[in-house]
A and B are shown apart, each in its own frame.
Chain A
Amino acid sequence: MSGIKIEEKLFQNRYLVDADNPHIRIKDPALCGQCSNQPCTICCPAGCYTREEQKVVLITDGCLECGTCRIICSRQNVEWEYPRGGYGIQFKFG
Protein backbone atom coordinates (compact mmCIF):
# COMPACT_ATOMS: atom_id res chain seq x y z
CA MET A 1 0.00 0.00 0.00
CA SER A 2 1.66 3.15 -1.15
CA GLY A 3 1.46 4.83 2.24
CA ILE A 4 -2.08 6.22 2.01
CA LYS A 5 -2.81 7.14 5.59
CA ILE A 6 -6.41 6.12 6.28
CA GLU A 7 -6.25 8.34 9.39
CA GLU A 8 -5.94 11.43 7.18
CA LYS A 9 -9.24 10.52 5.50
CA LEU A 10 -11.06 9.57 8.71
CA PHE A 11 -9.91 12.83 10.35
CA GLN A 12 -12.24 14.71 7.98
CA ASN A 13 -15.25 12.75 9.23
CA ARG A 14 -17.43 13.58 12.22
CA TYR A 15 -17.78 10.89 14.87
CA LEU A 16 -19.61 10.84 18.21
CA VAL A 17 -17.56 8.06 19.80
CA ASP A 18 -19.42 6.08 22.45
CA ALA A 19 -16.31 5.95 24.70
CA ASP A 20 -15.42 2.41 25.93
CA ASN A 21 -18.69 1.02 24.54
CA PRO A 22 -17.61 -0.34 21.10
CA HIS A 23 -20.51 -1.63 18.96
CA ILE A 24 -18.51 -4.36 17.19
CA ARG A 25 -16.62 -7.18 18.90
CA ILE A 26 -14.50 -10.14 17.78
CA LYS A 27 -16.26 -13.11 19.36
CA ASP A 28 -13.29 -15.46 19.72
CA PRO A 29 -9.86 -13.88 19.00
CA ALA A 30 -8.25 -17.35 18.79
CA LEU A 31 -10.27 -18.11 15.65
CA CYS A 32 -8.58 -15.19 13.88
CA GLY A 33 -5.21 -16.86 14.40
CA GLN A 34 -6.36 -19.81 12.30
CA CYS A 35 -7.78 -17.59 9.55
CA SER A 36 -5.40 -17.75 6.58
CA ASN A 37 -5.98 -14.51 4.67
CA GLN A 38 -7.76 -12.42 7.37
CA PRO A 39 -9.83 -10.50 4.71
CA CYS A 40 -11.15 -8.08 7.36
CA THR A 41 -7.68 -6.52 7.60
CA ILE A 42 -7.92 -5.67 3.87
CA CYS A 43 -11.60 -5.09 3.11
CA CYS A 44 -12.59 -2.79 6.01
CA PRO A 45 -12.88 0.67 4.37
CA ALA A 46 -11.86 2.34 7.66
CA GLY A 47 -8.92 0.05 8.48
CA CYS A 48 -10.41 -0.86 11.88
CA TYR A 49 -8.89 -4.37 11.73
CA THR A 50 -5.11 -4.61 11.96
CA ARG A 51 -3.00 -7.73 12.08
CA GLU A 52 -0.73 -8.10 15.14
CA GLU A 53 1.43 -11.26 15.21
CA GLN A 54 -1.20 -14.00 15.12
CA LYS A 55 -4.08 -11.97 16.47
CA VAL A 56 -6.33 -9.33 14.85
CA VAL A 57 -6.80 -6.05 16.75
CA LEU A 58 -10.11 -4.19 16.30
CA ILE A 59 -10.45 -0.45 17.07
CA THR A 60 -13.96 0.70 16.15
CA ASP A 61 -13.46 4.49 16.51
CA GLY A 62 -13.27 5.12 12.75
CA CYS A 63 -15.98 2.56 11.85
CA LEU A 64 -18.22 3.62 8.93
CA GLU A 65 -20.89 1.06 9.92
CA CYS A 66 -20.99 -0.52 6.42
CA GLY A 67 -21.29 -4.16 7.57
CA THR A 68 -18.50 -5.56 5.32
CA CYS A 69 -16.61 -7.26 8.19
CA ARG A 70 -19.68 -9.18 9.35
CA ILE A 71 -20.38 -10.47 5.83
CA ILE A 72 -16.86 -11.45 4.73
CA CYS A 73 -15.79 -13.17 7.96
CA SER A 74 -15.76 -16.80 6.85
CA ARG A 75 -16.09 -17.96 10.49
CA GLN A 76 -18.94 -15.51 11.42
CA ASN A 77 -16.59 -14.40 14.22
CA VAL A 78 -17.79 -10.76 14.27
CA GLU A 79 -20.51 -9.65 16.68
CA TRP A 80 -21.88 -6.71 14.71
CA GLU A 81 -24.42 -4.24 16.11
CA TYR A 82 -25.32 -0.63 15.37
CA PRO A 83 -23.90 1.89 17.90
CA ARG A 84 -26.22 3.32 20.55
CA GLY A 85 -28.70 5.88 19.22
CA GLY A 86 -26.95 9.09 18.14
CA TYR A 87 -23.41 7.65 18.39
CA GLY A 88 -20.90 6.53 15.79
CA ILE A 89 -20.28 8.07 12.36
CA GLN A 90 -22.42 11.14 11.62
CA PHE A 91 -22.13 11.92 7.89
CA LYS A 92 -22.08 15.67 7.17
CA PHE A 93 -22.75 15.03 3.45
CA GLY A 94 -23.22 11.23 2.97
Chain B
Amino acid sequence: MSEETQAPAKKKRKIVLDERLQAYKGVWVFVEHERGHIHPVSLELLGEGRKLADSLGAELAGVVLSAPGDEAKEYCNTAFEYGADLCYLMQNEVLRDYRNDPFTRGLTELVNTYQPEILLLGATTQGRDLAGSVATTLKTGLTADCTGLEIDPENRSLLSTRPTFGGSLLCTIVTLNYRPQMATVRPRVMAMPEQQPGRSGRIIEHPLAMVETDIVTKVLEFIADDTRDKPQLPFADIIVAGGRGLGKPENFQLIWDLARVLGAEVGGSRPVVQAGWLELDRQVGQSGKTVRPKLYIAAGISGAIQHRVGMESADCIIAINNDPNAPIFDFAHYGIVGDAMTILPALTEAFRQKLATLKQAG
Protein backbone atom coordinates (compact mmCIF):
# COMPACT_ATOMS: atom_id res chain seq x y z
CA MET B 1 0.00 0.00 0.00
CA SER B 2 1.61 3.31 -0.90
CA GLU B 3 1.03 5.79 1.87
CA GLU B 4 1.62 9.07 0.19
CA THR B 5 -1.15 8.69 -2.35
CA GLN B 6 -3.59 7.20 0.14
CA ALA B 7 -5.48 9.52 2.45
CA PRO B 8 -6.27 7.72 5.73
CA ALA B 9 -9.91 6.57 5.66
CA LYS B 10 -11.81 9.62 6.88
CA LYS B 11 -14.94 7.95 8.17
CA LYS B 12 -14.40 4.55 9.75
CA ARG B 13 -15.32 2.25 6.85
CA LYS B 14 -17.69 -0.26 8.38
CA ILE B 15 -16.05 -3.58 7.54
CA VAL B 16 -18.90 -5.92 6.76
CA LEU B 17 -17.72 -9.51 6.28
CA ASP B 18 -19.73 -11.35 3.69
CA GLU B 19 -21.15 -14.75 4.47
CA ARG B 20 -18.46 -16.87 2.86
CA LEU B 21 -15.71 -15.23 4.94
CA GLN B 22 -17.53 -15.62 8.25
CA ALA B 23 -16.40 -19.26 8.21
CA TYR B 24 -12.69 -18.25 8.38
CA LYS B 25 -11.61 -19.01 11.94
CA GLY B 26 -8.38 -19.45 13.83
CA VAL B 27 -4.88 -17.98 13.86
CA TRP B 28 -2.10 -19.70 11.91
CA VAL B 29 1.67 -19.31 12.23
CA PHE B 30 3.90 -20.55 9.39
CA VAL B 31 6.68 -22.51 11.12
CA GLU B 32 9.89 -21.80 9.25
CA HIS B 33 12.72 -24.30 9.64
CA GLU B 34 16.21 -24.59 8.24
CA ARG B 35 18.45 -27.66 8.40
CA GLY B 36 16.89 -29.20 11.45
CA HIS B 37 15.86 -26.29 13.63
CA ILE B 38 12.98 -23.85 13.80
CA HIS B 39 13.74 -20.21 13.05
CA PRO B 40 13.32 -18.24 16.37
CA VAL B 41 10.95 -15.76 14.66
CA SER B 42 8.35 -18.54 14.27
CA LEU B 43 8.42 -19.15 18.04
CA GLU B 44 8.06 -15.39 18.70
CA LEU B 45 5.06 -15.43 16.35
CA LEU B 46 3.50 -18.37 18.19
CA GLY B 47 3.66 -16.22 21.34
CA GLU B 48 1.97 -13.32 19.52
CA GLY B 49 -0.51 -15.69 17.82
CA ARG B 50 -1.51 -17.12 21.19
CA LYS B 51 -2.54 -13.63 22.35
CA LEU B 52 -4.53 -12.97 19.18
CA ALA B 53 -6.21 -16.42 19.31
CA ASP B 54 -7.18 -15.91 22.96
CA SER B 55 -8.77 -12.49 22.31
CA LEU B 56 -10.65 -14.03 19.34
CA GLY B 57 -11.61 -17.14 21.32
CA ALA B 58 -10.13 -19.21 18.50
CA GLU B 59 -7.42 -21.86 18.13
CA LEU B 60 -3.73 -21.24 17.38
CA ALA B 61 -2.25 -23.54 14.72
CA GLY B 62 1.31 -24.10 13.51
CA VAL B 63 1.80 -24.85 9.81
CA VAL B 64 4.71 -27.11 8.93
CA LEU B 65 5.72 -27.83 5.34
CA SER B 66 8.72 -30.15 5.05
CA ALA B 67 10.24 -33.22 3.49
CA PRO B 68 9.07 -36.61 4.85
CA GLY B 69 10.82 -37.69 8.09
CA ASP B 70 10.65 -37.46 11.89
CA GLU B 71 12.10 -33.95 11.96
CA ALA B 72 8.69 -32.56 10.94
CA LYS B 73 7.05 -34.23 13.95
CA GLU B 74 9.73 -32.62 16.13
CA TYR B 75 8.86 -29.20 14.72
CA CYS B 76 5.19 -29.79 15.61
CA ASN B 77 6.03 -30.83 19.17
CA THR B 78 8.14 -27.71 19.64
CA ALA B 79 5.25 -25.63 18.25
CA PHE B 80 2.92 -27.16 20.86
CA GLU B 81 5.40 -26.27 23.62
CA TYR B 82 5.32 -22.63 22.46
CA GLY B 83 1.53 -22.39 22.51
CA ALA B 84 0.07 -24.05 19.41
CA ASP B 85 -3.16 -26.01 19.94
CA LEU B 86 -2.75 -27.97 16.69
CA CYS B 87 -0.41 -28.28 13.71
CA TYR B 88 -1.17 -28.67 10.04
CA LEU B 89 1.56 -30.92 8.62
CA MET B 90 2.25 -31.23 4.90
CA GLN B 91 5.09 -33.54 3.91
CA ASN B 92 6.44 -34.05 0.40
CA GLU B 93 9.93 -34.58 -1.02
CA VAL B 94 9.52 -31.40 -3.13
CA LEU B 95 9.39 -29.43 0.12
CA ARG B 96 12.90 -30.48 1.21
CA ASP B 97 14.56 -27.11 0.31
CA TYR B 98 12.63 -23.88 0.28
CA ARG B 99 11.37 -23.01 -3.22
CA ASN B 100 8.61 -20.54 -3.99
CA ASP B 101 6.48 -22.74 -6.27
CA PRO B 102 5.82 -25.82 -4.07
CA PHE B 103 5.61 -23.87 -0.82
CA THR B 104 3.13 -21.37 -2.32
CA ARG B 105 1.01 -24.22 -3.76
CA GLY B 106 1.11 -26.12 -0.45
CA LEU B 107 0.29 -23.19 1.86
CA THR B 108 -2.48 -21.94 -0.46
CA GLU B 109 -3.99 -25.45 -0.51
CA LEU B 110 -4.02 -25.60 3.30
CA VAL B 111 -5.53 -22.09 3.61
CA ASN B 112 -8.31 -22.81 1.10
CA THR B 113 -9.08 -26.11 2.85
CA TYR B 114 -8.98 -25.12 6.54
CA GLN B 115 -9.73 -21.37 6.19
CA PRO B 116 -7.85 -19.42 8.93
CA GLU B 117 -8.82 -15.76 9.62
CA ILE B 118 -5.21 -14.74 10.40
CA LEU B 119 -1.95 -16.07 8.87
CA LEU B 120 1.37 -14.89 10.33
CA LEU B 121 4.83 -15.42 8.79
CA GLY B 122 8.31 -14.31 9.85
CA ALA B 123 9.70 -11.41 7.75
CA THR B 124 12.73 -13.48 6.75
CA THR B 125 13.89 -13.82 3.11
CA GLN B 126 11.83 -17.04 3.03
CA GLY B 127 8.77 -15.63 4.82
CA ARG B 128 8.57 -12.50 2.67
CA ASP B 129 9.07 -14.45 -0.56
CA LEU B 130 6.29 -16.86 0.38
CA ALA B 131 3.88 -14.28 1.86
CA GLY B 132 3.98 -12.14 -1.31
CA SER B 133 3.01 -14.92 -3.68
CA VAL B 134 0.50 -16.58 -1.31
CA ALA B 135 -1.28 -13.24 -0.72
CA THR B 136 -1.46 -12.61 -4.46
CA THR B 137 -2.72 -16.15 -5.16
CA LEU B 138 -5.41 -15.81 -2.46
CA LYS B 139 -6.12 -12.21 -3.57
CA THR B 140 -6.03 -11.08 0.06
CA GLY B 141 -4.36 -8.33 2.14
CA LEU B 142 -0.82 -8.59 3.48
CA THR B 143 0.98 -6.15 5.80
CA ALA B 144 4.76 -6.50 6.11
CA ASP B 145 7.23 -5.90 8.98
CA CYS B 146 4.56 -5.32 11.60
CA THR B 147 5.68 -4.05 14.99
CA GLY B 148 2.28 -4.48 16.67
CA LEU B 149 -0.70 -6.82 16.18
CA GLU B 150 -4.03 -6.59 17.99
CA ILE B 151 -7.66 -7.45 17.45
CA ASP B 152 -10.19 -4.66 16.92
CA PRO B 153 -12.84 -5.56 19.54
CA GLU B 154 -15.65 -4.06 17.42
CA ASN B 155 -15.35 -6.31 14.40
CA ARG B 156 -12.75 -8.95 15.28
CA SER B 157 -10.48 -7.69 12.46
CA LEU B 158 -6.68 -7.62 12.76
CA LEU B 159 -5.06 -4.20 13.34
CA SER B 160 -1.46 -4.39 12.18
CA THR B 161 0.84 -1.51 13.08
CA ARG B 162 4.07 -0.99 11.19
CA PRO B 163 6.73 1.70 10.58
CA THR B 164 6.47 3.77 7.42
CA PHE B 165 8.46 6.54 5.73
CA GLY B 166 11.77 5.14 6.88
CA GLY B 167 10.62 4.46 10.41
CA SER B 168 9.89 8.04 11.46
CA LEU B 169 6.13 7.26 11.47
CA LEU B 170 3.86 4.36 12.34
CA CYS B 171 0.65 3.42 10.58
CA THR B 172 -2.15 0.97 11.38
CA ILE B 173 -3.36 -1.18 8.49
CA VAL B 174 -6.72 -2.94 8.33
CA THR B 175 -7.64 -5.75 5.92
CA LEU B 176 -11.10 -5.11 4.60
CA ASN B 177 -13.52 -7.73 3.33
CA TYR B 178 -10.83 -10.33 2.58
CA ARG B 179 -9.59 -13.40 4.49
CA PRO B 180 -7.16 -14.57 5.72
CA GLN B 181 -5.61 -11.38 7.08
CA MET B 182 -1.87 -11.89 6.43
CA ALA B 183 1.03 -10.20 8.22
CA THR B 184 4.80 -10.67 8.47
CA VAL B 185 6.90 -9.71 11.49
CA ARG B 186 10.67 -9.17 11.68
CA PRO B 187 12.82 -11.33 13.98
CA ARG B 188 13.42 -9.96 17.49
CA VAL B 189 10.39 -7.61 17.34
CA MET B 190 7.93 -9.74 19.32
CA ALA B 191 8.88 -11.17 22.72
CA MET B 192 9.96 -14.81 22.87
CA PRO B 193 7.20 -16.69 24.81
CA GLU B 194 7.99 -19.06 27.68
CA GLN B 195 8.45 -22.66 26.58
CA GLN B 196 5.98 -25.04 28.29
CA PRO B 197 7.77 -28.43 28.20
CA GLY B 198 5.41 -31.35 27.72
CA ARG B 199 2.54 -29.27 26.27
CA SER B 200 0.97 -31.22 23.43
CA GLY B 201 -1.57 -30.80 20.64
CA ARG B 202 -3.09 -32.61 17.70
CA ILE B 203 -1.59 -32.92 14.22
CA ILE B 204 -3.66 -32.75 11.02
CA GLU B 205 -1.80 -34.19 8.03
CA HIS B 206 -2.63 -32.96 4.55
CA PRO B 207 -1.08 -34.25 1.31
CA LEU B 208 0.51 -32.06 -1.40
CA ALA B 209 -0.23 -33.48 -4.89
CA MET B 210 3.04 -32.39 -6.50
CA VAL B 211 6.06 -34.16 -7.95
CA GLU B 212 9.53 -32.86 -8.74
CA THR B 213 8.90 -32.75 -12.49
CA ASP B 214 6.10 -30.22 -11.89
CA ILE B 215 8.69 -27.78 -10.58
CA VAL B 216 10.96 -25.71 -12.86
CA THR B 217 13.33 -24.16 -10.33
CA LYS B 218 15.95 -26.58 -8.90
CA VAL B 219 18.23 -26.02 -5.93
CA LEU B 220 21.78 -26.80 -7.04
CA GLU B 221 23.44 -26.27 -3.66
CA PHE B 222 23.31 -24.39 -0.38
CA ILE B 223 26.37 -22.45 0.81
CA ALA B 224 26.10 -21.78 4.55
CA ASP B 225 27.30 -18.39 5.77
CA ASP B 226 30.72 -18.48 7.33
CA THR B 227 29.88 -16.06 10.14
CA ARG B 228 33.29 -16.23 11.82
CA ASP B 229 35.10 -13.41 10.10
CA LYS B 230 32.35 -11.15 8.76
CA PRO B 231 31.13 -8.77 11.50
CA GLN B 232 27.43 -9.36 12.09
CA LEU B 233 26.51 -6.11 13.85
CA PRO B 234 22.83 -6.05 12.76
CA PHE B 235 22.26 -9.44 14.46
CA ALA B 236 24.52 -8.92 17.52
CA ASP B 237 22.92 -9.02 20.99
CA ILE B 238 25.77 -7.13 22.71
CA ILE B 239 27.82 -4.36 21.05
CA VAL B 240 30.75 -2.37 22.45
CA ALA B 241 31.31 0.79 20.40
CA GLY B 242 34.09 3.37 20.48
CA GLY B 243 34.26 6.94 19.22
CA ARG B 244 36.81 9.67 18.61
CA GLY B 245 36.68 10.49 22.32
CA LEU B 246 39.13 7.59 22.79
CA GLY B 247 41.76 9.90 21.33
CA LYS B 248 44.10 7.41 19.63
CA PRO B 249 43.65 4.20 17.63
CA GLU B 250 45.72 2.32 20.25
CA ASN B 251 43.05 3.03 22.87
CA PHE B 252 40.57 1.12 20.74
CA GLN B 253 42.23 -2.03 22.10
CA LEU B 254 40.30 -1.42 25.34
CA ILE B 255 37.07 -1.74 23.33
CA TRP B 256 38.22 -5.07 21.85
CA ASP B 257 39.20 -6.34 25.35
CA LEU B 258 35.73 -5.62 26.81
CA ALA B 259 34.04 -7.09 23.73
CA ARG B 260 36.05 -10.32 24.03
CA VAL B 261 35.00 -10.81 27.66
CA LEU B 262 31.32 -10.17 26.76
CA GLY B 263 31.44 -12.14 23.50
CA ALA B 264 30.21 -8.93 21.92
CA GLU B 265 30.63 -7.38 18.47
CA VAL B 266 32.77 -4.22 18.17
CA GLY B 267 31.27 -1.13 16.52
CA GLY B 268 32.21 2.51 16.06
CA SER B 269 31.06 5.96 15.03
CA ARG B 270 31.69 7.46 11.57
CA PRO B 271 34.72 9.61 12.54
CA VAL B 272 36.73 6.59 13.78
CA VAL B 273 35.88 4.63 10.63
CA GLN B 274 36.84 7.66 8.52
CA ALA B 275 40.07 7.95 10.49
CA GLY B 276 40.77 4.32 9.60
CA TRP B 277 40.69 2.94 13.18
CA LEU B 278 37.88 0.53 12.25
CA GLU B 279 36.55 -1.21 9.13
CA LEU B 280 33.46 0.12 7.34
CA ASP B 281 31.33 -2.95 8.22
CA ARG B 282 31.56 -1.94 11.90
CA GLN B 283 30.21 1.61 11.43
CA VAL B 284 26.98 2.22 13.35
CA GLY B 285 24.69 5.07 12.33
CA GLN B 286 22.94 6.91 9.51
CA SER B 287 25.42 5.98 6.82
CA GLY B 288 26.40 2.69 8.48
CA LYS B 289 24.53 -0.20 10.12
CA THR B 290 21.34 0.01 12.18
CA VAL B 291 21.61 -2.22 15.25
CA ARG B 292 19.11 -3.41 17.87
CA PRO B 293 21.23 -5.23 20.50
CA LYS B 294 20.09 -6.02 24.02
CA LEU B 295 23.16 -4.16 25.42
CA TYR B 296 25.06 -1.28 23.73
CA ILE B 297 28.10 0.16 25.49
CA ALA B 298 29.29 3.46 23.92
CA ALA B 299 32.67 4.85 25.00
CA GLY B 300 33.96 8.21 23.76
CA ILE B 301 30.98 8.66 21.45
CA SER B 302 29.32 12.09 21.61
CA GLY B 303 26.01 10.64 20.37
CA ALA B 304 25.39 13.05 17.49
CA ILE B 305 22.07 12.36 15.79
CA GLN B 306 23.82 10.70 12.83
CA HIS B 307 25.02 8.00 15.26
CA ARG B 308 21.88 7.96 17.42
CA VAL B 309 19.53 6.96 14.58
CA GLY B 310 21.57 3.76 14.14
CA MET B 311 21.43 2.47 17.73
CA GLU B 312 18.75 4.24 19.77
CA SER B 313 16.42 1.21 19.73
CA ALA B 314 18.93 -0.92 21.71
CA ASP B 315 17.30 -2.37 24.86
CA CYS B 316 19.95 -0.98 27.25
CA ILE B 317 22.43 1.78 26.34
CA ILE B 318 25.43 2.62 28.54
CA ALA B 319 27.32 5.82 27.70
CA ILE B 320 30.82 6.70 28.91
CA ASN B 321 32.01 10.19 28.02
CA ASN B 322 34.14 12.85 29.69
CA ASP B 323 31.82 15.64 28.42
CA PRO B 324 28.84 15.90 30.82
CA ASN B 325 26.63 17.55 28.19
CA ALA B 326 27.42 15.07 25.39
CA PRO B 327 24.10 14.49 23.53
CA ILE B 328 24.38 10.73 24.17
CA PHE B 329 23.41 11.31 27.81
CA ASP B 330 20.01 12.61 26.55
CA PHE B 331 18.87 9.15 25.47
CA ALA B 332 21.20 6.55 27.05
CA HIS B 333 19.81 4.52 29.97
CA TYR B 334 22.93 4.80 32.12
CA GLY B 335 25.76 7.32 31.89
CA ILE B 336 29.19 7.61 33.43
CA VAL B 337 31.01 10.93 33.11
CA GLY B 338 34.68 10.05 33.10
CA ASP B 339 37.73 9.04 31.16
CA ALA B 340 36.93 6.01 29.00
CA MET B 341 40.58 4.93 29.14
CA THR B 342 40.28 4.15 32.87
CA ILE B 343 36.61 3.11 33.02
CA LEU B 344 36.76 0.56 30.19
CA PRO B 345 39.38 -1.69 31.85
CA ALA B 346 37.42 -1.48 35.12
CA LEU B 347 34.25 -2.50 33.28
CA THR B 348 36.05 -5.37 31.58
CA GLU B 349 37.22 -6.66 34.95
CA ALA B 350 33.82 -6.21 36.62
CA PHE B 351 32.02 -8.04 33.78
CA ARG B 352 34.59 -10.86 33.92
CA GLN B 353 33.77 -11.35 37.61
CA LYS B 354 30.04 -11.08 36.95
CA LEU B 355 30.26 -13.82 34.30
CA ALA B 356 32.33 -15.96 36.67
CA THR B 357 29.71 -15.73 39.44
CA LEU B 358 26.93 -16.48 36.92
CA LYS B 359 28.94 -19.54 35.78
CA GLN B 360 29.11 -20.95 39.29
CA ALA B 361 25.46 -20.20 39.92
CA GLY B 362 24.35 -21.56 36.47
Contact = CB atoms under 8 A, between A and B. Distances in A.
Q: Do chains A and B touch in the complex (CB under 8 A)?
A: yes
A57 interface: yes
B275 A57 contact: yes
B215 interface: no
Interface residues of B, number: 12
A3 B305 contact: no
Interface stretch (A5-13, A33-41, A71-79, A83-91): A5-13
Contacts of A59: 271, 274
A24 interface: no
Interface string B150-192: 0000000000000000000000000000000000000000000
A83 B325 CA distance: 35
Contacts, number: 20
Interface in B262-285: 270-271, 274-275
B327 interface: yes
A17 interface: yes
Given A8-B304, A11-B305, A17-B287, 9 more contacts: A3-B325, A7-B304, A7-B306, A8-B327, A11-B286, A11-B306, A57-B275, A61-B270, A61-B287
Interface residues of A, number: 9
Nearest to B307: A7
Interface in B33-57: none
Nearest to A20: B280
Interface string A38-57: 00000000000000000001
Nearest to B305: A11
Nearest to B325: A3
Contacts of A5: 302, 304, 327
A3 B271 CA distance: 18
